[in-house]
Amino acid sequence: MHPIDSVQINFNQEQLLILNICLAFLMFGVALDLRLDNFRDIFRRPKAPLIGLTSQLILLPILTLALIYIFRPPTSLALGMILIASCPGGNVSNFAVHIAKANAALSVIMTSVTTLGAILITPLYFTFLAPMIAAKEDLPEAIFVSPLDMVTTIVQLILVPLLLGMLINDRFPQFTEKIKKPVRWISLLIFFGFVVFAVYGNWDNIVQYLYLVFFLVLVHNALALLMGYNFARLNKLPQNDARAISLETGIQNSGLGLILIFNFFDGLGGMAMIAAWWGVWHLLSAFTLATWWSSRKVAQLKVQEV
C-alpha cells in the first residue's frame, strides 16, 4: 500500500451537514437554468446530445480506466479518478460554454441529463468500476460502499433541489430571472469555498504528493477535453457543438465528488486530493480554452464549417 492510501481527512457530523447543504444550494442554482423543454429537445434534435452524452458517460470512464492501467497510480488516487469520471457535468460548464461562443443550449441539455442521471449513474459506475482497479484487501473499509446508501444521499443532494429549482423556474419565471444572477454568483463562491476548503485540508499532503496529483489531473482533464471535441468533429458536428461537448466532458462536478468522499469514504486523502485539485484545474483549463475559442472570429468559423 502506498503511503497516500492511508491519508484521511476527518469531519464531524456538523461539518458534513453544512457541506451537504452547500451542495444542495449549488444544485438549486443549476436548476434555475433548467426547463422540461431541455429534455424534450433530445427527442427533437437527438444527434448532438447523444454524441455528447456518449462522450461524457461512456468514453470518459473508458479513458479513465485506460489512464489508470497505463500510469498505475496509488489506489486512492485511482479511485478519485474513477469517482470524478462517474460524476455529472460541473456547475460552471454552461458559463464556460457561453464564453467559448459555443452551443449553450446543448450544454444545458447535457448538464440536465447527466445531473439527474447521476442519481443512478454515479453510484452504479463507481460500484462497478472501483473493483477493477482496487482489490478488496487494498482498502477494505473505503471502497465498498452500498450503492443504495449513495443513491439515497444523491437524491437528497441533487434530485430534491433540482426539482425545487425547476418548479420555481416554471411557475415563477419573473422571480427566477431576479434571483438567477445572485444565486449563480453565490453558487460560484460556494464552489470555490468547497475547493479552498478541500485544498486547505489537504495542503501538506498535496505539497508532498503534488507531482502525482498534478500530473494525473493534468493528463486526465486535457485528454477529456480533447476527446470530447474530436469525438464530436469525427461525428460531423459543427464547431459550436464540438466546443460545448468538449467543455461538458472536461468539466465534472468535483463538488459532488468531494461530498461523497467525505460522506462515504472516510475523507480518504488520495481521493479528496484528486477531487479538490480537479476542481481547481478544470476551471483553469476550461476557462483558458473557452477564452481562446472566444477570440476566434465568427466569420472564420463559418468558413470552416462550409
Whether residue 107 contacts residue 244, with contact meaning beta carbons closer than 8 Å, is answered with yes
Query: In 3D, which of 255, 256, 243, 253 has the Cα closest to residue 287?
Result: 243
Digit-coded pLDDT (tens) for 114-160: 888 888 888 889 888 887 876 555 554 555 566 677 788 777 777 78
Q: How confident is the model at residue 298 (pLDDT cuts 50, 70, 90)?
A: very low
Domain containing 223: what range?
A: 3-305
Digit-coded pLDDT (tens) for 224-264: 999 999 999 999 999 999 999 999 999 998 888 888 887 77
Instruction: Look up the pTM and report it.
Output: 0.80
Q: Which residue has the higher pLDDT, 211 or 243?
A: 243
Whether residue 268 contacts residue 79, with contact meaning beta carbons closer than 8 Å, is answered with yes
Whether residue 272 contacts residue 201, with contact meaning beta carbons closer than 8 Å, is answered with yes
Cα–Cα dist 81/134, whole Å: 12
Domain count, the chain: 1
Q: What percent of the chain has pLDDT over 70?
A: 78
Per-residue model confidence (pLDDT) at position 115: 84
Q: Which residue has the higher pLDDT, 221 or 205?
A: 221
Residue 13 belongs to domain with CATH number: 1.20.1530.20
Cα–Cα dist 221/245, whole Å: 14
Average pLDDT for the chain? 80
Per-residue model confidence (pLDDT) at position 232: 96
Q: Which of the residue ranges 28-42, 143-157, 166-180 has the most confident prediction, judged by mean pLDDT?
A: 166-180
SS3 of the chain: the string is: CCHHHHCECCCCHHHHHHHHHHHHHHHHHHHCCCCHHHHHHHHHCCHHHHHHHHHHHHHHHHHHHHHHHHHCCCHHHHHHHHHHHHCCECCCHHHHHHHCCCCHHHHHHHHHHHHHHHHHHHHHHHHHHHHHHCCCCCCCCCCCCCHHHHHHHHHHHHHHHHHHHHHHHHHCHHHHHHHHHHHHHHHHHHHHHHHHHHHHHCHHHHHHHHHHHHHHHHHHHHHHHHHHHHHHHHCCCCHHHHHHHHHHHHCECHHHHHHHHHHHCCCEHHHHHHHHHHHHHHHHHHHHHHHHHHCCCHHHHHHHHC
Whether residue 259 contacts residue 20, with contact meaning beta carbons closer than 8 Å, is answered with yes
Looking at the predicted structure, is the pLDDT value of residue 283 above 90? no
Per-residue model confidence (pLDDT) at position 66: 96
Looking at the predicted structure, is the pLDDT value of residue 164 above 60? yes
- Residue entry with cell 476527518: 10
Digit-coded pLDDT (tens) for 54-95: 999 999 999 999 999 999 998 889 999 999 999 988 767 877
Q: What is the mean predicted confidence (pLDDT) over 287-297?
A: 85
Per-residue model confidence (pLDDT) at position 32: 76
Q: What is the mean predicted confidence (pLDDT) over 290-298?
A: 79
Looking at the predicted structure, is the pLDDT value of residue 39 above 80? no
Cα–Cα dist 224/248, whole Å: 9
Whether residue 276 contacts residue 195, with contact meaning beta carbons closer than 8 Å, is answered with yes
